[in-house]
Chain A
Amino acid sequence: MNVLEVSQLQTHFFTRQGVVKAVDGVDFSLAEGQVLGLVGESGSGKSVTGFSILGLVDPPGRVVGGQIRFRGQDLAGCTPAQMRAIRGDRIAMVFQDPLMTLNPVLRIDTQMIEAIQSHHRVSRRAALDRACDVLTRVGISSARERLNAYPHQFSGGMRQRVAIAIALINEPDLIIADEPTTALDVTIQSQILSEVQALTRDSGTALIWITHDLAVVAGMADRIAVMYAGRIVETGPTDEVLARPSHPYTVGLLGSIPGQGRRGATLAQIPGMAPNMARLPAGCAFAPRCGRVGQGCETAAPEARALWAGRTVRCHHPVASGPGHGSVDGGAPMQPSVGTPVPPAPVAQEGGRP
Chain B
Amino acid sequence: MLKRMAQSLFVIAAMVVIVFFGVYMVGNPVDILISPDATQQEIEATKARFGLDQPLYVQFLQFVGNALRGDLGRSFVHGEDAVSLILHYMPATLELATLGLIFSVLLGLPLGVYAGYRADRWQGRAIMTGTIFGFSLPNFWVGMLLILIFSVQLQWLPSTGRGETVEVLGLHLSVFAPGGLQYLLLPALTLALYKASLVARLARAGTQEALLQDYVKFARAKGVSETRILFVHVLKNIMIPVVSVLGLELGSMIAFAVVTETVFSWPGMGKLLIDSITKLDRPVIVAYLMMTVLIFVTINLVVDLLYTWLDPRVRLSGVST
User: What residues on A are CB-neighbors of B236 within 8 Å?
Assistant: 103, 105-106
- Cβ of B313 < 8 Å from any Cβ of A? yes
Considering the chains assembled together, what is the distance between the CA atoms of A307 and B214 in angstroms?
Answer: 40
| Nearest-neighbor residue (CB-CB) of A112 within chain B | B222
Asked whether A87 lies within 8 Å of B313 as measured between CB atoms, the reply is: no
Asked whether A84 lies within 8 Å of B223 as measured between CB atoms, the reply is: yes
Asked whether A101 lies within 8 Å of B214 as measured between CB atoms, the reply is: yes
A106 to chain B, nearest CB (A): 6
Q: Which of A55-79 contact B (CB under 8 A)?
A: 56, 58
Question: Contacts A103-B233, A104-B313 hold; do A114 and B224 have CB atoms under 8 A apart?
Answer: yes
| Nearest-neighbor residue (CB-CB) of B237 within chain A | A105
Q: Which of A31-68 contact B (CB under 8 A)?
A: 54, 56, 58
User: Interface residue count for A (Cβ, 8 Å)?
Assistant: 29
Contact with A along B203-216 (1 / 0, CB 8 A): 00000000001110
User: What residues on A are CB-neighbors of B224 within 8 Å?
Assistant: 88, 114-115, 118
User: What residues on B are CB-neighbors of A89 within 8 Å?
Assistant: 223
Asked whether A100 lies within 8 Å of B215 as measured between CB atoms, the reply is: yes
Considering the chains assembled together, what is the distance between the CA atoms of A124 and B148 in angstroms?
Answer: 51
User: What residues on A are CB-neighbors of B317 within 8 Å?
Assistant: 152
Question: Contacts A100-B215, A105-B236 hold; do A93 and B221 have CB atoms under 8 A apart?
Answer: yes
Contact with A along B229-246 (1 / 0, CB 8 A): 000110011001000000
Asked whether B214 lies within 8 Å of A152 as measured between CB atoms, the reply is: no
Asked whether A92 lies within 8 Å of B221 as measured between CB atoms, the reply is: yes
- Cβ of A279 < 8 Å from any Cβ of B? no
A181 to chain B, nearest CB (A): 17
A91 to chain B, nearest CB (A): 9
Question: Contacts A103-B237, A153-B316 hold; do A97 and B223 have CB atoms under 8 A apart?
Answer: no
Asked whether B223 lies within 8 Å of A119 as measured between CB atoms, the reply is: yes
Most buried by A among B215, B221, B224, B236: B221
Considering the chains assembled together, what is the distance between the CA atoms of A58 and B236 in angstroms?
Answer: 23
Asked whether B313 lies within 8 Å of A86 as measured between CB atoms, the reply is: no
Asked whether B221 lies within 8 Å of A87 as measured between CB atoms, the reply is: yes
Q: Which of B267-321 contact A (CB under 8 A)?
A: 311-313, 316-317
- Cβ of A95 < 8 Å from any Cβ of B? yes
Residue pairs across A and B with CB atoms within 8 Å: the count is 78
- Cβ of B219 < 8 Å from any Cβ of A? yes
Question: Contacts A105-B237, A105-B311 hold; do A56 and B223 have CB atoms under 8 A apart?
Answer: no
B240 to chain A, nearest CB (A): 8
Considering the chains assembled together, what is the distance between the CA atoms of A87 and B225 in angstroms?
Answer: 11
- Cβ of B78 < 8 Å from any Cβ of A? no
B6 to chain A, nearest CB (A): 30
A105 to chain B, nearest CB (A): 5
- Cβ of B57 < 8 Å from any Cβ of A? no
Contact of A103 among B215, B223, B225, B316 (CB under 8 A): B215
Asked whether B313 lies within 8 Å of A152 as measured between CB atoms, the reply is: yes
Question: Contacts A102-B215, A150-B312, A150-B316 hold; do A86 and B223 have CB atoms under 8 A apart?
Answer: yes
User: What residues on B are CB-neighbors of A104 within 8 Å?
Assistant: 215, 237, 312-313
- Cβ of B88 < 8 Å from any Cβ of A? no
User: What residues on B are CB-neighbors of A103 within 8 Å?
Assistant: 215, 219, 233, 236-237
- Cβ of A85 < 8 Å from any Cβ of B? yes
| Nearest-neighbor residue (CB-CB) of A166 within chain B | B222
| Nearest-neighbor residue (CB-CB) of A169 within chain B | B222
Considering the chains assembled together, what is the distance between the CA atoms of A88 and B229 in angstroms?
Answer: 14
Question: Contacts A105-B311, A106-B232, A106-B233 hold; do A84 and B215 have CB atoms under 8 A apart?
Answer: no
User: What residues on B are CB-neighbors of A102 within 8 Å?
Assistant: 215, 218
Asked whether B215 lies within 8 Å of A101 as measured between CB atoms, the reply is: yes
- Cβ of B220 < 8 Å from any Cβ of A? yes
Asked whether A115 lies within 8 Å of B223 as measured between CB atoms, the reply is: yes
User: What residues on B are CB-neighbors of A150 within 8 Å?
Assistant: 312-313, 316
Question: Contacts A95-B217, A101-B215 hold; do A115 and B313 have CB atoms under 8 A apart?
Answer: no
- Cβ of B228 < 8 Å from any Cβ of A? yes
User: What residues on B are CB-neighbors of A119 within 8 Å?
Assistant: 223
Asked whether A88 lies within 8 Å of B215 as measured between CB atoms, the reply is: no
| Nearest-neighbor residue (CB-CB) of B212 within chain A | A58
User: What residues on B are CB-neighbors of A163 within 8 Å?
Assistant: 218
B310 to chain A, nearest CB (A): 9
| Nearest-neighbor residue (CB-CB) of A85 within chain B | B223
User: What residues on B are CB-neighbors of A118 within 8 Å?
Assistant: 222-225, 228
| Nearest-neighbor residue (CB-CB) of A106 within chain B | B236
Q: Which of B166-221 contact A (CB under 8 A)?
A: 213-215, 217-221
Considering the chains assembled together, what is the distance between the CA atoms of A102 and B222 in angstroms?
Answer: 11
Asked whether B218 lies within 8 Å of A95 as measured between CB atoms, the reply is: yes
A171 to chain B, nearest CB (A): 14
B218 to chain A, nearest CB (A): 4
Contact with B along A131-163 (1 / 0, CB 8 A): 000000000000000000010110000000001
Contacts A88-B224, A102-B215 supplied; 11 other A-B pairs, CB < 8 Å = A84-B223, A84-B225, A92-B222, A95-B217, A95-B221, A100-B214, A104-B313, A105-B313, A114-B228, A152-B313, A153-B316
6 A/B residue pairs, CB under 8 Å, sorted by A: A88-B221, A92-B221, A95-B221, A101-B214, A118-B223, A152-B313
Q: Which 6 A-B pairs have the closest CB atoms?
A: A88-B223, A88-B222, A100-B214, A101-B218, A87-B223, A93-B221
